[in-house]
Amino acid sequence: MPITAVAGGQWGDEGKGKVVDLLAQSAQVVVRAQGGDNAGHTIVNPAGMFKLRLVPAGIFNPRTLCVIGPGVALNPAGLVAELDALNQRGVNTHKLLVSPRAHLVLPYHRLLDRLEDAVRRGRLGTTGRGIGPAYVDKVSRQGLRAGDLLQPDALEEKLTAVLAQHNPRLQALGGEPLQAPSLLAELLPLAERLKPHLQDPVPHLRRALQAGETVLVEGAQGTLLDLDHGTYPFVTSSSPSIGGLLVGAGLGPSHLRHAVGVFKAYCTRVGEGPMPTELHDATGEALRQRGQEFGTVTGRPRRCGGFDAVAGRYARLVNGCTSLALTRLDVLSGLERLRLATAYELDGERLEEFPPAWEELARCRPVYEELPGWQEDLGGARALDDLPPAAQAYVKRIEELLDCPVGLVGVGEERGAAIALAAPFV
Ligand code: IMP
């Protein structure tokens, strides 16, 4: 059972990039499973700081095979730009395979995403990357897939057919119609550039599993943005939970050994939708500034608040987490008191479970438990005992509330700034 899967436990931006970068050091294969370039994984390693959107974090290890799996929504222009930028900085990207089954995100998806979100009753605040409309095409079985890039003759026909569907909608929303020949002219050089990468990863995955190699499955976004399990409709259009990651990677659950849930030591959310522990006060602002909580993709300020253990317990269940990675504990230094939400109050009643309806969640008031804060800088801590007692107690309490061992505590941006406590981190 050689698979480790890593999912965000909150609303994305939990610091999965760093966790995956760490685990990728000892993985032979890293698979990105869902989402698209709506994700932005920040990685700081000896080669510098990188912001990856589509390329799996294993790319920095020259021996690791990296796979963009069938569940990913692939913007081919974005991928080429990302590969070029990595190559310019000396990163070898030869060992990247792109599944021909991955669906393409094309310019009309991005246009539709922006135009539709602008007129939607109750904006979602999407990243505008075309991810939702691309998954809509996939589900309605008119999507173009990465493998279509290898069939230029059929490509124009498919583009013509899909544009006949989308152009009237684009125009109705005030956009310009797109023409198949000019889209084709944009796509052909991208197809040529991506050709060496467009190979079915299935035989490589089979060989890796048979050889008992470690396969790391990398999630984007987070459980509370999951299309099925998140705060619908304020969600993304894929399944970023562990089950969805395995589907998106094309790997069955019986191969899974470690299901890692990544949680930030506090909560953030970008875009619209309810967030019970959101703070509109000085503490919220302090978290935003200390944590530099601004979106990697859109630059939007993230909404900040305390750790929500009700949502956390729910995410732990949905993902079947075998361990937690608790990131950015260092950001909490300097706060007098820390508040953990252990239950909600809804219309005068105590609620222990994360409610299914966003309207209810929006009315929930967190019931807080207070813990003392600490003043020390945590950046140099490499063992639990290096942490001040209050920080240790905070980690322990989250472990108890989520009923899951903390395998890793993050105390800074760099790869080494972490405390490894349990498998798969030790
Ligand atoms: P979409 O994925 O662009 O359709 O956006 C839907 C919702 O998910 C919006 O609230 C976005 O802000 C949010 N979202 C999408 N990707 C990410 C991410 O990587 N991190 C955090 N939020 C995200």
Average pLDDT, rounded, for the chain: 96
pLDDT at 339: 97
Residue with tokens 């209050």: 390
Query: If you measure from the C-alpha of residue 393 to the centroid of ligand 1, how many angstroms do you get, rounded to a whole number?
Result: 32
Nearest CA to ligand 1 atom 1: 126
Q: Are strands 29-32 and 48-52 parallel, antiparallel or unpaired?
A: unpaired
pLDDT tens readout for residues 160-171: 999 999 999 999
Check pocket membership of 270 for ligand 1, CB cut-off 6 A: yes
Residues 6+ apart with CB under 8 A from 387: 329, 378, 381, 395, 409, 419
Statement: residue 388 has pLDDT above 70? yes
Cα 424 to Cα 426: distance, rounded to the nearest angstrom: 6
DSSP strand pairing (365-372 vs 215-218): unpaired
| Residues with Cβ within 8 Å of residue 286, at least 6 apart in sequence | 334, 335
Q: Is 280 a catalytic residue?
A: no
Instruction: Confirm or reject: Cβ of 39 under 6 Å from ligand 1.
Output: yes
* DSSP label at residue 66: E
Query: 330-350, pLDDT tens digit by residue?
Result: 999 999 999 999 999 999 999
- Of 21, 37, 41, 137, which is the active-site residue? 41
What digits encode the pLDDT tens for the residues 65-103? 999 999 999 999 999 999 999 999 999 999 999 999 999
Residue 398, H or E segment: helix 389-402
